[in-house]
Amino acid sequence: MSKKPAAIRGTNDFIAEDAARFDQVVETFRRVARLYNFNSVHVPVFEHTGVFARSLGETTDVVAKEMYTFEDRSGDSVTLRPEFTAGIARAYISNGWQQHGQMKLAAWGPCFRYERPQKGRFRQFHQLDAEMLAAPDPMADVEILAFGQQLLEELGIAKSVTLRLNTLGDPESREAWQTALLSHFRAHEPELSADSRDRLARNPLRILDSKDAADRAIVADAPVIDDYLSSEAGAWFAAVQEGLSAAGIAFERDARLVRGLDYYRHTAFEFVTDALGAQGTVLGGGRYDGLIEAMGGPPTPAIGWAAGIERLALLLPGAAGGKVDVAFIPMDREAELVGVRLLGALRSGGGISAETFARGNMKKRMQRADASGARLALILGEDERARRRVQVKDLAAGDQTALAYGDIGFIGGYMAELRLREMEGEGAEMPPFSAWLPATMLTTR
């Protein structure tokens, strides 16, 4: 045990169902992204440390204690990305992407944060990310939220997730609100929890979502952003809500919702669930109009969100593992060689997935073929070779028929029809292979 190499804390190795769930999340994301015309962007996994330190806010926990930062061989300080947005903003500036006008970008991959692992939280985790750059219209907020909503729907988890929405206003509104909040909390400072007294100095907004009971009482009658919104900021928020209603997207106004990272303005949102314990946020984001300019680029209004792939995968009802269409069972070495050619034809010519089961006795081979989920088993021995045929056994129906080498293409046809029926939910009505095969093809053993 002690001699086994250990994975780094907070990293995961996973296969089979877990991997299938992960893949399903990513594949669904990519498919839905296409529907909304979000195109792929690929950015580095690491950046100069300043890219994250400046954009996220020096006092945020992510920057203060959670970054994977190290010196490379030249002595430069580099950091593994804790999120996507800063790197994409940097790429936008570095490459002059303002030439493209509005951009809708989608990315996914690993991110890194040095934290204590917990349910749905890891040191290497994976995010889906969507960004709309140079998008100065409340309808962009609506569109990117619709993307997120549809993603959750197509993953089949929309029922267990609710959208919470708030606005942080424009810089003037936010500033005025924050000042009011600060004086409110200062007035109650002795009653605040130790954590919140600490937050008072670092990030007073965070007191709003404290879990401490005493804090919540003080938060209950804290100033609300609505009273400090400029007319422009109020109009923006109204437009977003109107658009969401038109799109049929349900949301809850949460006046205490704030975002951890400094760059957020206007719309802020989270899709939350209570099925994941303390890590309820499954997809979150908001508008960050000032970020790109603050990083040295042109003024660029933008909005984006990120979703935790592991968290989404945990909510997935279930995922089909790696099934194979056809199992090939050779009786001897010679049959294996013939099989290489037959399976090659099925795979490249017919798009059929196939696996060979050549170990153990016949019983074991059949057991494994069955466990593989294959619908058909192809059995090839000396007798069959002499007549240039294979035995085709329908593993669901249990019956078996012989098929000439030259007619092997029918297997592709059968599997194609089976797949079609399964897609339409009537896979059970698929006749056995022997009944499906035209009568003239039926061969006696």
In the window 166-225, what residues touch RNA (CB under 7 A)? 195, 199, 203, 206, 210-212
Site for RNA in 228-247 (CB under 7 A): none
| One residue of 42, 220, 363, 424 binding RNA per CB under 7 A | 363
Asked if 341 interacts with RNA (CB under 7 A), we say: no
Encode the chain in three state secondary structure. CCCCCCCCCCCCCCCHHHHHHHHHHHHHHHHHHHHCCCEECCCCCEEEHHHHHHHHCCCCHHHHHCCEEEECCCCCEEEECCCCHHHHHHHHHHCCHHHHCCEEEEEEEEEECCCCCECCECCEEEEEEEEEECCCCHHHHHHHHHHHHHHHHHCCCHHHCEEEEEECCCHHHHHHHHHHHHHHHHHCHHHCCHHHHHHHHHCHHHHHHCCCHHHHHHHHCCCCHHHHCCHHHHHHHHHHHHHHHHHCCCCEECCCCCCCCCCCEEEEEEEECCCCCCCCEEEEEEECCCHHHHCCCCCCCEEEEEEEHHHHHHHCCCCCCCCCCEEEEECCHHHHHHHHHHHHHHHHHHCCCEEECCCCCHHHHHHHHHHCCCCEEEEECHHHHHHCEEEEEECCCCCEEEEEHHHCHHHHHHHHHHHHHHHCCCHHHCCCHHHHCCHHHCECC
| One residue of 384, 411, 415, 437 binding RNA per CB under 7 A | 384
| One residue of 98, 102, 279, 434 binding RNA per CB under 7 A | 279
Site for RNA in 66-105 (CB under 7 A): 66, 83
Site for RNA in 246-275 (CB under 7 A): 259-261, 270
Stretch that binds RNA, among 19-27, 224-232, 388-396, 419-427 (CB under 7 A): 388-396
| Least Å from the CB of residue 234 to RNA | 25
Stretch that binds RNA, among 57-65, 86-94, 100-108, 225-233 (CB under 7 A): 57-65
Q: Which is nearer to RNA, 142 or 366 (CB)?
A: 366
Asked if 396 interacts with RNA (CB under 7 A), we say: yes
Q: Which is nearer to RNA, 118 or 245 (CB)?
A: 118
Asked if 372 interacts with RNA (CB under 7 A), we say: no
Asked if 333 interacts with RNA (CB under 7 A), we say: no
Asked if 62 interacts with RNA (CB under 7 A), we say: yes
Asked if 428 interacts with RNA (CB under 7 A), we say: no
Q: Which is nearer to RNA, 239 or 256 (CB)?
A: 256
| One residue of 168, 291, 342, 379 binding RNA per CB under 7 A | 379
| Least Å from the CB of residue 262 to RNA | 9
Asked if 60 interacts with RNA (CB under 7 A), we say: yes
